[in-house]
Structures are given as structure tokens and as C-alpha cells.
A and B are shown apart, each in its own frame.
Chain A
Amino acid sequence: MFTLTAILVDGTIYASWLFIVAAGLTLVYGVMRILNLAHGSLYAVGAYTAASAITWYLSAGHAPAGSYLVLLAAALAAGTVTGLLIERGVLRLMYGRDEVVMILVTYAVLLILEDVIKLIWGVESYSAYQPYQLLGRLQFGPMTFANYDLALIAVAAAVAIAMWWTLNRTRRGKLLLVVIHDREMSAALGIDVTRVFVVTFLIGGVLGAAAGALTAPVVSVVPGIGVEVIVLAFAVVVIGGLGSVQGALVGSLIVGIARAAAVHLLPEVELFVIYGVMCLVLAVRPAGLFARPAARKI
């Protein structure tokens, strides 16, 4: 019972973090048909920016409670700037190419940004643990949980609700769904697809950077964190079905709880479990849980 509760809570915390990363990735794929490997770099840039911004803010002697605002501002700034650079600087030149080629393009961007990060922040590790400690811990029976981690669940839920609301209940969101459904037809009906692309990529970028920023207080930020996170986010997105936001939500819950179960019961198979689940799902539903079947073109 004790282990089961721990698995469920840990799994949900992990899933919340995964969802914030994966939501941006899947949104960008759904609209632009780009499987963005550089999403990992956006995550890393977000984490570094947040860590240095919080350290700078606190060392200036401001109130510690403000560090959460600083964290969000850092995520917004990092995601917008990096996202604009990637979209306007590189991707714009490549639109219309094969999906596989676009993977390679974003792989190149990832390689470049990995080194840009090292040039800006160096190779030493950064940490900004204060926002994590500030919230304290919650005693729950024999277990303690960090309130920061529990707050992460709330943030992820807010992101999920906001995305659902925007996509299904607002005019702009519906236009986005239309573009996801059929890009050529929506362009023919007068939707400015290029603008939709830029906006989508920026939203995806901010989500990626936000996930990084939210992680910055929990872990020490070191080179290579973006590369690690991207393969996890892929597993989530592929399980749920590429381009589907509900899919990302369900996928992150599956992966989160599977991983937490592995960590508590059999730590040796931690990475194995994530991809094992992914292979299992894909073997049964080749395009993921929530993907619509594509028509074969002759």
C-alpha cells in the first residue's frame, strides 16, 4: 500500500513534468509536421536562464517569494527568443521538405544550440534550489513530499486545461485545429498558415523552456540535460499519437507511472520500461493511442 501510493504520487509528479515538455513537442508536430529534436535545447535554455535569473535575483537581495515570477519570466523570455531564432533563422528556409529531412534539420539545430549553451553558460553546473526549499514539505502518512513537486502537478493541469480551452473554445484555437486537420485546405480558405506556424512554434518553445525552468530548482543544471529529455518526450508523444494533445496527456501518465513503478520495484530496468511500454503500445496501435489513421496515397 505504501509503495503503491508512492508510485502513484511519484508517477503523477513525473508525468506532470513530462506533459509540459511533451505538449509543446506534440503541438508543433501537429501543426507544422516537424518532429522538433531542438525541443530539448529549448528545455535546456529555459533551465539555464531560470537558474541564472533566480540566482541573480536572490543575490540582489529581493524577496524570495518573487523568485517564482522570475522563473516564469525567464521561461517566457528564453522560449520566445530561442523559438524565434530557430523558426525565423532556420526552419523558415526548410518548409515543404520531407518530414525525415526536418528531423535532420532540427538535429542540426540541437547540435548547434548545445554548443551555444556551453559558450554562454560554460560547463559548470548551475542550481537554484531556493524556490524548491521555500515551499517546504508535506507530511502524508509515513511519506513526505516536496510541495514544489505537488505544485508541479497543478501547473501541468493548468497547462492542460488552458490548451484544451484554447483549442476547443476559442476562435484562434479552432483555426489551429483546422490547420492540424488539413493544412492545404485551410490555406486555401484564407488562413495565414505562416503566421499560425510562427505562433505555434513560439508556444511550443515557451512550453519547452517552461518545463526546463520548472526543473531548474529541482536538479542541478548541467550540459546535456536537453539531450536526455528529448528522448523521453518522444516516447511520450509517440505513445499518445504524434500531434495529439490528449495523447500527450495520457502518454505522460503512462510513462510517468511506469517509470515510477520501475524506480520503486526494480531500478535496473528504469529506462527499459519507458521504451518497453512504447514498443508495446506501438505494436498494438502502430500510430499511437490517439492518432487518426492516415490514408495511403498512390
Chain B
Amino acid sequence: MRTDPGTRGFLIAAAVLLAAGPFLPKWLSYIATISLGYALVVAGVVLLMRAGLVSFGQGLYFCLGGYAVGAAGKYWNLGDAFVLLAAAVAVSVAVAALLGLLLARYREIFFAMFTMAFSMILYGLLSKSQALGSTDGFNVSHATFLGYAPVALQGWLYAAAVVLSMAVAIALQRYLRSGMGYAGDAIRENEIRVEYLGISVYRVVYLKYLVAAGLGGLGGGLAALASGHVGPDMAYWTTSGEFVFVALLGGTQHIAAAFAASFLFELIKTYAFELSPYTWQMMLGVVLLAIILFLPSGLWSLVARGREALR
């Protein structure tokens, strides 16, 4: 089997990130872990965006994943990171399997609004549920790794996040180059012609929604393990808005863009929030407008343009 350049790139990235792990200062490895989790959610948003669908509600799965991890640790004493993450994905996909039946019928702003409504329902339920800490959320217990409970938890989480997310990234990049992946691009261009080709648009959209939900759950689970806390804010629509923002910032041509943009976003967020908490959102808004006006294909189009020039 020939390794395509995308796969090779992700393998190299995984090796570099793992090798650099022990030397990273604590704050940086924390930001990296969080942004890897974020990037997985964003990758789901990108997947849908390539099919012309903007989900303003990926926070639903981000939150579900996080709460699944937290609740499984709290109520069933499950501690293994991989079991917890698997539970996060399973819960998200199960919910998406139900909601997707309805959502796959909608396009454009209706899809955007409907996904947002569902995540706001979860927000409403969680912020009123006393057992799950209502608006404050609750703390997530420390994870173990295959029976081993490390003292330096963060380093282990970082390594797990790198391995998992790079594996997912490779799988996604291959998926985008498959028939199903291209069907998404075709749906964005012209849905009815895709139907004429004998492909069920409903089924393609439904599947993509499931994959995006799974990614959202995994990302939320990782973020919950890394930050040690979950709260209903994870499902608030502004959180989902951030995922859409990061997806646009990176661009939808390559999965790697989601990872680069997430890291950039987390880094800037950490600093900007400290330096000027009152103008942070304004900066986001200005950047978003600038991207829509001048760089509609995102930052990755600069990379692509650079490659063209080198060739």
C-alpha cells in the first residue's frame, strides 16, 4: 500500500509531537492537549462544511462527550482513559443516530438553526439538573491508562491525545479521498445531480453527521480529561460558534488545517484573555470578518498557495 503525502505528514507530526512531549513546559503541553481535543471537534465541523452544512451545534457532542467521561467516572467508577473516551464517542454517536434522522433532511440556515436548538436543549437540561452540578458542572476524576495511574497525568494525557488524534486525522484524510468523501463535495455543489448519479444524499449526510458527532464526543472527552472539569457552557451556542470560527480560520481543504488553527486559537485565546478580557471577542469578530472578506478558504489556502509557488 502506497502511503499518500497526507498520511506521511500526520505520521511525522505524531512522531515529532511525541518526541517533543517530555521537553514541553507544562502550560504548553496543556494547551496542546486541549487544542487537540478542540481540533477533533473542528474536524467534524469541517467534514460537514465540505458538504455545505454549517453546524452551529457541535457543542452538543462536545458537551455530551465531556459529561459522558465525567459521569462514567463519577457514578460507575470507570477510570481508564480509553474506556472513558470510547464511552464518550458511543454516547455521542447514539444521540446523533437519533437526531440525525431528522437533521439530515435540512440544509443551509435550517440545518444551522436546528443543530443550535438541539445543543441549547442540552444546555437547558444540564443547567437545571441538580445531580450534575447545574450551571457549575462538576469535576472529572483522574484518569488511568490500562490499569496504570500515572503521577504525571498531564504528560500521559498529552501522549494519548497525540496518538489518538493523529490516528483519527489519518483516517479522516483517507476518508475525504474516498468515494464517500468526494460525495460530500458533490452535495455542496449540486445535490440533485448527486441523486441522479444514484447516490442517496440523505444517507451520505446522515453518515457524515454521525462521524462529526463521534469526533465531537471524542474531542469533548479529551478536553474534559485534560481540564478536569465539565460544565453546561460546553453546549452553549457560543461554544459551537467558536468551533465554526476555527473551522473557517483553518479552511476546509485539509484536515491538518483544523489542527493548526485550533492550536493557534487556543494559544491566542489564553494570552488575549489574560491581556485584555474586554476586547478578546472583538478581536475574534474582526478576524472572522477579515477571513470572510479576504481569505474565504482560510489560512490553509496560504499554505496551498506557497506550495504552488515552490513547485
Contact = CB atoms under 8 A, between A and B. Distances in A.
Contact of A231 (B105, B127, B237): B237
Given A93-B293, A105-B292, A271 B121 contact: yes
Interface stretch (B19-27, B108-116, B210-218, B258-266): B108-116
Contacts of A279: 102, 114, 117-118, 121
Interface stretch (B3-11, B175-183, B274-282): B274-282
Interface in A81-135: 90, 93-94, 97-101, 103-105, 107-112, 114-116, 118-119, 123
B54 A100 contact: yes
Contacts of A271: 120-121, 123-125, 127-128
A5 B128 CA distance: 26
Interface of B: 54, 56, 102, 105-106, 108-110, 112-114, 116-118, 120-121, 123-125, 127-129, 190, 192-193, 237-238, 241, 244, 248, 278-282, 284-286, 288-289, 292-293
Contact of A112 (B110, B192, B244, B281): B281
Interface stretch (A62-70, A153-161, A194-202, A281-289): A281-289
Nearest to B191: A296
Contacts of B102: 279, 283
A270 B193 CA distance: 43
Contact of A104 (B125, B280, B288): B288
Given A103-B109, A104-B248, A268-B129, A275 B124 contact: yes
B292 A101 contact: yes
B108 A99 contact: yes
A111 B54 contact: no
Contact of B118 (A93, A234, A275): A275
B288 A111 contact: yes
B110 to A, nearest CB: 7
A217 B292 CA distance: 38
A238 B120 CA distance: 15
Interface in A227-259: 227, 231, 234-235, 238, 242
A272 B129 CA distance: 12
A90 B293 CA distance: 10
B282 A238 contact: no
Contacts of B237: 231
A272 B124 contact: yes
Contacts of A231: 116-117, 120, 237
A261 interface: no
Nearest to B114: A282
B110 A107 contact: no
A35 interface: yes
Nearest to B124: A271
A298 interface: yes
A4 B292 CA distance: 50
Contacts of A108: 284-286, 288-289, 292
B121 A115 contact: no
A104 B241 CA distance: 9
Given A108-B292, A275-B118, A298-B192, A270 B282 contact: no
A90 B63 CA distance: 33
19 contacts: A35-B109, A100-B108, A103-B56, A108-B286, A108-B288, A108-B289, A109-B285, A110-B285, A111-B282, A231-B117, A234-B117, A238-B110, A271-B123, A275-B124, A276-B121, A278-B117, A282-B114, A286-B106, A298-B193
